[in-house]
Amino acid sequence: MPSIKDFFIYICGLKSLISFKIKMPQILYFAIIFILVADFGLERYLALLNIKHSKTKLPEILSDIYDAEKYAKQQDYFRTNASFGMITSSFTFVITLGMYVFGGFGWLDQFLLQYIDNDILRSLAFFGVIFLINDLLTTPFAWYDTFVIEERFGFNKVTPAIFVLDKLKGYLISGIIGGALLSLIIWIYQLTPEYFWLVAWSVITAFSLFMSMFYSELIVPLFNKQTPLQEGELRTEIEKFANKADFKLKNIFVIDGSKRSTKANAYFTGFGPKKRIVLYDTLMDKMTTDEIVAVLAHEIGHYKHKHTIKNMLVSLPTTLLLFFLLGLILKSNDLAIALGGSEASFHLNVLAFGILYSPVSLVLDLLTNVLSRKYEYQADNFAADYGFGNQLVSGLKKLSATSLSNLTPHPLYVFFHYSHPTLYQRVINISTNKKL
């Protein structure tokens, strides 16, 4: 017969709280499933909105980019990619959901536990197996995208040999750099669980800074050839503008982007003496000298406004928050059990945390995109202030035309996914600048 104490415990709900720990793995399991399904549903909704909105008539200010035939081709390219993206993402979602629903990750953990005693090696094997299986399952889709879709629309320059070699190089880089970094992070956790979040954050920050400075020198040459821009009209005009803008520039490189695609691009990378401007050879083939200088003026505008440093300063507290929260739950048996494991393990807990953290990550990404779009306006205005507004507009239009870009994305899709303003927004912004 229940006592008076039991009665009051039941009435107050304390009995439920006492059994809360027993139910926690189930709660976490359903939370993970819910987040996965909700994220997939949101992405499908946004994709469908974007597909429907692509039929919108082009604004007058962009009407000169495509003629009727080219616009029909652009619409075909966009819908083909959108439909194919829906198929690939749905396939990935079903596989991922199945792994969580049926405890596939927990089974893999238990399987590896039979053969590998060392925690670091077991985590490396766990993530290595997942990486390889995922890559093997998605490679046919990547192959189809490259050799069917991109080939059909005249973009692809990749040969089967380059495709395979890129894959092998990717494996090697992921294995060496990713494996070493993961091993270090796990070792830090084992060494100092209490201060794991702070030390791991410091290591990742230092690594990110190092890669920002040396990525073009260490990683890019493994995939592409970079050569200094030769003396001539283009280099002279670039250097003339750099001097005018009080921007010390020595490193101007041309990258063989045509090795893989006909699409054009340019980017700025590095800090201090390591900063460099990289031009795709396809960009040089499609743009005039003034247009290229205008695009580079935009990139220099990012540097002059200290956008790279500002982005890094923004990322520091967000990364710190991530590691702080991760450090709190790495010992949780409940998270591991929710994935089908028997006890806490670094890899299972990290995997579960990644899903549970994704709503926070989504909010942070949205805020980052808002800030990024603001920075793009500022860089555009920098170029316009030096009299390159018209040239930047014409250059951006050429880039859109040659890549068959969607010029009428849905505003909500832009809000969630675009780190840059739309071309229409950028052209309107540049056109209102007084120093065109």
Q: What is the per-residue pLDDT across 93-127, written as a single tens digit (0 to 9) for each? A: 999 999 999 999 999 999 999 999 999 999 999 99
User: Mean pLDDT of all residues in the chain?
Assistant: 89
With cut-offs at 50, 70 and 90, classify the pLDDT of residue 4.
very low
With cut-offs at 50, 70 and 90, classify the pLDDT of residue 289.
very high
Q: What percentage of the chain has pLDDT greater than the value 70?
A: 94
Range with the lowest mean pLDDT among 204-208, 261-265, 271-275, 333-337?
271-275
**Do 213 and 220 contact (CB within 8 A), yes or no?**
no
Higher pLDDT, 253 or 6: 253
* 55-59, 209-213, 324-328: range with highest mean pLDDT: 324-328
Residue boundaries of the structural domains of the chain: 4-225+303-431, 226-301
| Core vs surface per residue 415-432: b (16+ CB within 10 A) or e | ebbbebbbbebbbebbee
Is residue 408 helix, strand or coil?
coil
Please tell me the distance from the alpha carbon of residue 416 to that of residue 76, in angstroms, as a whole number. 24
E-strand stretches of 324-406:
none
Q: What is the per-residue pLDDT across 165-182, written as a single tens digit (0 to 9) for each? A: 999 999 999 999 999 999
Please tell me the distance from the alpha carbon of residue 198 to that of residue 322, in angstroms, as a whole number. 11
Range with the lowest mean pLDDT among 16-20, 100-104, 189-193, 322-326?
16-20
| Per-residue pLDDT, 213 | 83
CA 270 to chain centre: 19
Q: What angle do CA 371, 375, 378 make, to 5 degrees?
A: 145
E-strand stretches of 34-157:
none
Please tell me the distance from the alpha carbon of residue 108 to that of residue 106, in angstroms, as a whole number. 5
| Per-residue pLDDT, 18 | 40
With cut-offs at 50, 70 and 90, classify the pLDDT of residue 434.
low
**Do 268 and 309 contact (CB within 8 A), yes or no?**
no
With cut-offs at 50, 70 and 90, classify the pLDDT of residue 216.
confident
| Per-residue pLDDT, 342 | 83
Please tell me the distance from the alpha carbon of residue 255 to that of residue 263, in angstroms, as a whole number. 12
Average pLDDT over residues 274-298: 88
Walk across the sheet containing 252-255 and list its strands. 226-228, 252-255, 276-280, 266-269
How far lies 148's CA from each of 51, 259, 260, 282, in Å? 21, 17, 14, 21
With cut-offs at 50, 70 and 90, classify the pLDDT of residue 249.
confident
| Per-residue pLDDT, 435 | 52
Q: Catalytic positions, please?
A: 299
Q: What is the per-residue pLDDT across 360-414, written as a single tens digit (0 to 9) for each? A: 999 999 999 999 999 999 999 999 999 999 999 999 999 999 999 999 999 999 9
| Per-residue pLDDT, 12 | 44
With cut-offs at 50, 70 and 90, classify the pLDDT of residue 293.
very high
Please tell me the distance from the alpha carbon of residue 29 to that of residue 26, in angstroms, as a whole number. 5
Q: Is the dihedral of CA 398, 399, 402, 405 positive or negative?
A: negative
CB atoms within 10 A of CB 64: 11
> 226-301 adopts what CATH topology?
Zincin-like (3.30.2010)
| Per-residue pLDDT, 184 | 96
Q: Which amino acid is at 159?
A: T
